[in-house]
C-alpha cells in the first residue's frame, strides 16, 4: 500500500495530516511528521502536499552510505535509525523534498505509508491505495 | 504542566537595543494557563500606568496556550497591548498559522518592547531571533506586497506565519490592524498602529518543535472526539459550508442586521451579499487556519476587465466574512457584491480594521446627509449609500489624510463625532466601533461592558436571540448571563481556543485535554480561573480610566427597533448597573478599582 495525493486542489491547508503523523509517534507538535502541506506561492493559489511517493527505486536509499535506508517491498524506504549517522545525503537526493528532518535528533524522518494521516483529511485529499504489481493484479 | 514543555519560555525582544532574551515563567503558565491569562499579567508588568499607546514603552504581547499544537482548533494567538484606539486595554485574536508557529518555534509568549529608529522586521526561526532591515518595505502601502516580499526572503514555507502591516499601520491610524497569511487579522483596537510606532513592519515566525504529552492513549481518544465534532457536528456545519457569511440572511430576516448606519435593521439588498449568493457567484477557494479541520475561511475570486485594454483581466482573491459584509455592505447600503468585494479588498490592502472603517464611513454618510458636514470638509467627496466607488476613494483618503476631515476620520467615529456632531448616531462603545448585531439589549450591553468592547467578549447577541426573544429577564439575571459567558471565554482565550469551537470545548473536554498537557484541575478551579482573569483585565481597564459610571450609549440603538423590538434605555442602564456591582462586589480589594 502507498499513500497518494488524490486532489491537492481540495486541500484547505489545515495541517491535520501533519499533526496526525506526529500523534502516531506519541507526541504533539511537528518535529517528527513526515508529511507537509505548503502553499504554492500565497494561500490564495492553493496548496501542495509533500509526502514520500514510494519510488520503486528510491534515490534516498541509493545514496545512503550506511545502509540505514533500504528499499521497502512495494516501494519507498525503511529507516534503521541505529545505522543512521545523520549525514543528510538522503534529504538532498529526494528532489520532491519528502525526506523530512528531525532537528531535535538530527536524523531523517520517512513516511511508512501507514495511511493514518489520510484518516484525518477532512476533504479526502489523501488516499491509501494498492500500488505497483498488486494494483494491476486482477481482483480476487 | 509538563516539565519538558517549552511553553513556559517567554521571548523578550527589545527593539530599541536590538537584543533578545528568554525568561522561564512557569509561575505564570501554571497559574493562568496561557493566552490572555498569562498576557494580562505580562501587560501589568510591562505597561506602566497612563503611557502613550504609541510610545516605545507600550509592549506588544503575543501569547498561545497549553493546548496549542496538541489539539485541533486551539489555533489562535492572543495579542495584548494598550490600544491607541480606545486608550485602554487592547486585545485582539488572530488565527492563520500564527499560533502553531509561535508554539512550535519554542515559546508560550513573545513580548516586544521599545522601538526601532529605522524600519525593521523580525524573523524568528526555531526560536532564534533575527533583526532584518525593512527600509525597502517602509512606505509600501499594500499588505499583500509586503507579505509577498517577506515570503520570498525567508525560509520555512508551510510552517511560518507572516504578520505585517500595510500603510495604515505606518500612518499610525488608530484602528489599523495586523494581517497574517494574507487573510487573517489582529483586526481590532489598533495593533497595526503599535507596530507602526515601533517601526516594525512585520514578524515572521516558524518552527517545528515537538510537544510532550502525558498519556498517548488518552491523547488520541480525546483528540478523536474533538476532531470528529469539528468535522461532523451540526454546530460546525455552518462554518464549513458558507462560513460566517451564513449569518447574513437569517440575521436580516430577524431584523438585527445594522443597515445604513443602523437607521434600520433590515437591508433590502441582503440577498445579493448573502453567504449563499457570494458562494454561488464568487467563492474561489476555502482555507483553514493551521491545525483546524473546519476551514471557515472563504475566498472570493473576482474577475475584472481592464477598461483601457481589451482582453486584459485581473483576478483578485478576496476573503469575506460576516463582519465585513455587515460593516462594508449593509451598513453602507452596498448591495452589489462586486462593489462590496472591491471595498473589502481595498481595506485589506491598506491594513485597516474593516468593522471600524465601515462604521466610520456610515457615520460620515449620515452626517453629510444631515448637513452636519459638507463637501467643504470632505474635500469634494459626496458620500451616498451604496456608492462603493466613493467609499474606496474615502479609504484611500483615510490613509493619505489630504485634509483635516480625513485626518479626523483616521481617529475613529467617537473622535470625529465629538468634533463635528452627530454624536447620537456615532456607533461606538468606549471608543470601539460596534459589531454587526442589533439583536437587542444584551448585544449592546455586551459591547459596552466587554473587556475589549467586542461582540466576541460575551456573545450578548446570542443571549438576545436565544433568551430574550422568549422571555423577559430581570436586569440582575441578564447581567449574570453576560458575565458568566465572559468569564468562561477567558478560559477559552487562555488555552487559546477558537470561539467557533466553544460548543465542542466544554469545561469537561477542556479538563481532559488539559490533563494531557499536565494540568490537573477541577471544573470549579477552571471556572474560577476565568473569573480571576476577567477581574485582572478589568483592573487594568480601571487603572487606565475605564468606568461604568461614566459611559456613552449611542441614542441610535434606542431609536431603531431590534429583533426583539425597541430597546428600553432604563432597562439597559439597570443591567449595566447590575454588571458593575457584580464585578466590583466580588472584589475584596476595592482600592484597585478607584479611579486615578
pLDDT, tens digit (0-9, with 9 covering 90-100), for B528-585:
999 999 999 999 999 999 999 999 999 999 999 999 999 999 999 999 999 999 998 7
Query: Among candidates B28, B13, B1, which has minimal Cα distance to B536?
Result: B28
Q: Do domains A1-52+111-126 and A54-94 have the same CATH topology?
A: yes
pLDDT of residue B595: 41
Residues written for chain B: 596
Which CATH number goes with the domain that contains B168? 3.60.9.10
Domain containing B294 equals 243-415
Which CATH number goes with the domain that contains B258? 1.10.569.10
Helix B337-350 / helix B354-369 crossing angle, nearest 10 deg: 120
CA atoms of B98 and B94, how far apart (whole Å):
7
Residues written for chain A: 140
Contacts of A42 in chain B (CB under 8 A): 147-148, 151, 182
Quick check: helix, strand or coil at residue B4? coil
Q: Where are the beta strands (DSSP E) in B59-214?
A: 60-63, 77-82, 89-94, 109-113, 120-125, 128-133, 160-164, 178-180, 184-186, 200-206, 210-211
Provide the 10 A C-beta neighbour count for residue B142: 14
Residue A139: pLDDT above 60? no
Instruction: Choose one of B380, B415, B450: the last residue of a domain.
Output: B415
Q: Does B565 reside within a domain?
A: yes
pLDDT of residue B596: 34
Residue A131: pLDDT above 90? no
Q: Give how many domains chain B has, as a whole number.
A: 3
Q: Which residues, numbered 17 to 56 in chain A, qualify as contacts with chain B under a Cβ-Cβ cut-off of 8 Å?
A: 19, 22-23, 26-33, 36-39, 41-46, 50
Which of A27, A45, A46 lies at the smallest CB-CB distance from B210? A27
Stretch A70-93: mean pLDDT = 95
CA distance A79 to chain B (A): 20
Q: Are residues B13 and B109 in the same domain?
A: yes
**B150 grid coordinates:** 517577506
Q: Does B231 reside within a domain?
A: no
Q: Does B15 reside within a domain?
A: yes
C-beta of residue B241 within 8 angstroms of C-beta of residue A122: no
The reply to whether residue A28 touches residue B69, judged by beta carbons under 8 angstroms, is yes
Phi, then psi, of B286 in degrees rounded to 5: -115, 145
Q: Please, which pLDDT band fits residue A74 given cuts at 50, 70 and 90? A: confident
CA–CA distances in Å: residue A94 to residues A62, A97, B130: 11, 6, 29
Which CATH number goes with the domain that contains B584? 1.10.599.10
Q: Are residues B324 and B181 in the same domain?
A: no
Q: Are residues B445 and B410 in the same domain?
A: no
C-beta of residue B580 within 8 angstroms of C-beta of residue B548: yes
Nearest CA in chain A to B229: A122
pLDDT of residue A41: 83
CA distance B105 to chain A (A): 10
Phi, then psi, of B593 in degrees rounded to 5: -100, 0
Contacts of A16 in chain B (CB under 8 A): 72, 227, 291, 293
Contacts of B286 in chain A (CB under 8 A): 12
CA atoms of B62 and B186, how far apart (whole Å):
11
Contacts of B295 in chain A (CB under 8 A): 12, 14, 122-123
Q: Are residues B261 and B339 in the same domain?
A: yes
CA distance B314 to chain A (A): 14
The reply to whether residue B208 touches residue A15, judged by beta carbons under 8 angstroms, is no
Which of A103, A104, A122 lies at the smallest CB-CB distance from B231? A122
Which of B147, B213, B292 lies at the smallest CB-CB distance from A14? B292
CA atoms of B553 and B430, how far apart (whole Å):
9
Phi, then psi, of B134 in degrees rounded to 5: -125, 25
The reply to whether residue B210 touches residue A104, judged by beta carbons under 8 angstroms, is yes
Contacts of A28 in chain B (CB under 8 A): 69-70, 210-213, 219
List chain A domain ranges.
Answer: 1-52+111-126, 54-94
The reply to whether residue B159 touches residue A36, judged by beta carbons under 8 angstroms, is yes
Instruction: Choose one of B206, B232, B259: the last residue of a domain.
Output: B206
Q: Does B538 reside within a domain?
A: yes
H helix or E strand, kind and range, residue B242: none
Q: Are residues B395 and B453 in the same domain?
A: no
Instruction: Choose one of B161, B184, B206: the last residue of a domain.
Output: B206
Q: Which residues, numbered 79 to 98 in chain A, qualify as contacts with chain B under a Cβ-Cβ cut-off of 8 Å?
A: none
Q: Does B271 reside within a domain?
A: yes
Give the number of beta-carbon pairs within 8 Å between A and B. Answer: 101
ipTM of the complex: 0.95
Q: Are residues B18 and B58 in the same domain?
A: yes
pLDDT of residue B445: 98
| DSSP character string of chain A | -EEEES-GGG-----HHHHHHHHHTT-EESTT--EEEEESSSGGG-EEEEE----SS-HHHHT-TTS-EEEPTTSSEEE-TTT-----HHHHH-TT--SEEETTTTEEE------HHHHT-TT--EEEE--THHHHSPP-
Q: Are residues B55 and B112 in the same domain?
A: yes
Q: Does B230 reside within a domain?
A: no
Q: Who's near B225: CB < 8 A, 6+ residues apart? A: B509
| CATH top-level class of A54-94 | alpha beta
Q: Who's near B518: CB < 8 A, 6+ residues apart? A: B1, B2, B3, B5, B66, B214
Under-70 pLDDT residues of chain B: 586-596
CA atoms of A114 and A1, how far apart (whole Å):
8
pLDDT tens digit sequence for B334-388:
999 999 999 999 999 999 999 999 999 999 999 999 999 999 999 999 999 999 9
Peptide bond into B496 cis (omega under 30): yes
Provide the 10 A C-beta neighbour count for residue A132: 13
| A13 touches B: beta carbon within 8 Å | yes
Contacts of B148 in chain A (CB under 8 A): 42
CA–CA distances in Å: residue B330 to residues B74, B263, B361, B381: 32, 11, 12, 21
The reply to whether residue B209 touches residue A33, judged by beta carbons under 8 angstroms, is no
pLDDT tens digit sequence for A36-57:
999 998 888 899 999 999 999 9
Nearest CA in chain A to B215: A26
Q: Does B541 reside within a domain?
A: yes
pLDDT of residue B563: 92
In whole angstroms, what separates CA A126 from the centre of its chain? 11
- CATH entry 1.10.3470 includes domain A1-52+111-126: no
Q: Are residues B276 and B199 in the same domain?
A: no
Contacts of B159 in chain A (CB under 8 A): 30, 36, 38
Query: Among candidates A31, A91, A96, which has minimal Cα distance to A63?
Result: A91
Q: Does B238 reside within a domain?
A: no
Amino acid at each position: 500500500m502507498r499513500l497518494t495525493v488524490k486532489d491537492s486542489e481540495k486541500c484547505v491547508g489545515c495541517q491535520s495530516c501533519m499533526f496526525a503523523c506526529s500523534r502516531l509517534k506519541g507526541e504533539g507538535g511537528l518535529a517528527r511528521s513526515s508529511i507537509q502541506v505548503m502553499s504554492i506561492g500565497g494561500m490564495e493559489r492553493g496548496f501542495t502536499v509533500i509526502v514520500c511517493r514510494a519510488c520503486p527505486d528510491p534515490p534516498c536509499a541509493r545514496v545512503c552510505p550506511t545502509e540505514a535506508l533500504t528499499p521497502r517491498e512495494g516501494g519507498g524506504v525503511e529507516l534503521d535509525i541505529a545505522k543512521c549517522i545523520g549525514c543528510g545525503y538522503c534529504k538532498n537526493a529526494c528532489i520532491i523534498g519528502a525526506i523530512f528532518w528531525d532537528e531535535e535528533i538530527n536524523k531523517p524522518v520517512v513516511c511508512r505509508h501507514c495511511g493514518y494521516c489520510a484518516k484525518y483529511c477532512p476533504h479526502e485529499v489523501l488516499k491509501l491505495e494498492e500500488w505497483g504489481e498488486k494494483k494491476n493484479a486482477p481482483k480476487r | 504542566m509538563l516539565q519538558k514543555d517549552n511553553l513556559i519560555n517567554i521571548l523578550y525582544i527589545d527593539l530599541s537595543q536590538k537584543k533578545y532574551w528568554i525568561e522561564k515563567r512557569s509561575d505564570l503558565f501554571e497559574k493562568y494557563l496561557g493566552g490572555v491569562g498569562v498576557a494580562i499579567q505580562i501587560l501589568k508588568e510591562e505597561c506602566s500606568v497612563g503611557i502613550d499607546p504609541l510610545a516605545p514603552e507600550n509592549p506588544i504581547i503575543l501569547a498561545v496556550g497549553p493546548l496549542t499544537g496538541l489539539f485541533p482548533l486551539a489555533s489562535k494567538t492572543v495579542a495584548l497591548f494598550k490600544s491607541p484606539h480606545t486608550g485602554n486595554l487592547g486585545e485582539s485574536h488572530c488565527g492563520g498559522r500564527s499560533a502553531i508557529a509561535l508554539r512550535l518555534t519554542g515559546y508560550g509568549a513573545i513580548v516586544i518592547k521599545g522601538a526601532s529608529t529605522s524600519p525593521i522586521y523580525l524573523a524568528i526561526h526555531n526560536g532564534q531571533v533575527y533583526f532584518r532591515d525593512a527600509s525597502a518595505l517602509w512606505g509600501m502601502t499594500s499588505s499583500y506586497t509586503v507579505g509577498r516580499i517577506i515570503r520570498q526572503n525567508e525560509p520555512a514555507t508551510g510552517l511560518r506565519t507572516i504578520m505585517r502591516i500595510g500603510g495604515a499601520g505606518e500612518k499610525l491610524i488608530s484602528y489599523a490592524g495586523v494581517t497574517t497569511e494574507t487573510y487573517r487579522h489582529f483586526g481590532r483596537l489598533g495593533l497595526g498602529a503599535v507596530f507602526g510606532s515601533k517601526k516594525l513592519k512585520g514578524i515572521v515566525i516558524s518552527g517545528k518543535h515537538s510537544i510532550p504529552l502525558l498519556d498517548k492513549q488518552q491523547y488520541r481518544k480525546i483528540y478523536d472526539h474533538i476532531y470528529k465534532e469539528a468535522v461532523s457536528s451540526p454546530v460546525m456545519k455552518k462554518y464549513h459550508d458558507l462560513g460566517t457569511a451564513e449569518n447574513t440572511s437569517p440575521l436580516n430576516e430577524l431584523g438585527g442586521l445594522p443597515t445604513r448606519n443602523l437607521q434600520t435593521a433590515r437591508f433590502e439588498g441582503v440577498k445579493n451579499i448573502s453567504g449563499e449568493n457570494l458562494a454561488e457567484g464568487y467563492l474561489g477557494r476555502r482555507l483553514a487556519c493551521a491545525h483546524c479541520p473546519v476551514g471557515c475561511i472563504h475566498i472570493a475570486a473576482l474577475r475584472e476587465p481592464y477598461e483601457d485594454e481589451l482582453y486584459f483581466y485581473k483576478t483578485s482573491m478576496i476573503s469575506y466574512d460576516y463582519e465585513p459584509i455587515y460593516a462594508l455592505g449593509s451598513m453602507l447600503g452596498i448591495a452589489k457584491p462586486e462593489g462590496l468585494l472591491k471595498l473589502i479588498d481595498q481595506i485589506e490592502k491598506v491594513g485597516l480594521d474593516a468593522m471600524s472603517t465601515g462604521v466610520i464611513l456610515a457615520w460620515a454618510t449620515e452626517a453629510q446627509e444631515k448637513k452636519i458636514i459638507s463637501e467643504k470638509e470632505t474635500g469634494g467627496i459626496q458620500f451616498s449609500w451604496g456608492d462603493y466607488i466613493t467609499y474606496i476613494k474615502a479609504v484611500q483618503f483615510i490613509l493619505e489624510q489630504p485634509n483635516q476631515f480625513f485626518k479626523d476620520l483616521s481617529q475613529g467615529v467617537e473622535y470625529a463625532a465629538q468634533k463635528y456632531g452627530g454624536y447620537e448616531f456615532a456607533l461606538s462603545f468606549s471608543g470601539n466601533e460596534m459589531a454587526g448585531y442589533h439583536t437587542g439589549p444584551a448585544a449592546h450591553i455586551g459591547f459596552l461592558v466587554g473587556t475589549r468592547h467586542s461582540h466576541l467578549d460575551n456573545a450578548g447577541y446570542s443571549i438576545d436571540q436565544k433568551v430574550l426573544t422568549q422571555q423577559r429577564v430581570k436586569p440582575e439575571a441578564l447581567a449574570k448571563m453576560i458575565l458568566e459567558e465572559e468569564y468562561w471565554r477567558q478560559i477559552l482565550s487562555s488555552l487559546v481556543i477558537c470561539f467557533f469551537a466553544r460548543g465542542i470545548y466544554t469545561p469537561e473536554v477542556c479538563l481532559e485535554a488539559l490533563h494531557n498537557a499536565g494540568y490537573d484541575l477541577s471544573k470549579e478551579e477552571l471556572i474560577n480561573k476565568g473569573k480571576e482573569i476577567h477581574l485582572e483585565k478589568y483592573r487594568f481597564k480601571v487603572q487606565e480610566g475605564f468606568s461604568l459610571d461614566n459611559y456613552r450609549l449611542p441614542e441610535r440603538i434606542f431609536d431603531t427597533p431590534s429583533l426583539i423590538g425597541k430597546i428600553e434605555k432604563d432597562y439597559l442602564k439597570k443591567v449595566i448597573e447590575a454588571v458593575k456591582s457584580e464585578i466590583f462586589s466580588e472584589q475584596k480589594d476595592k482600592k484597585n478599582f478607584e479611579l486615578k
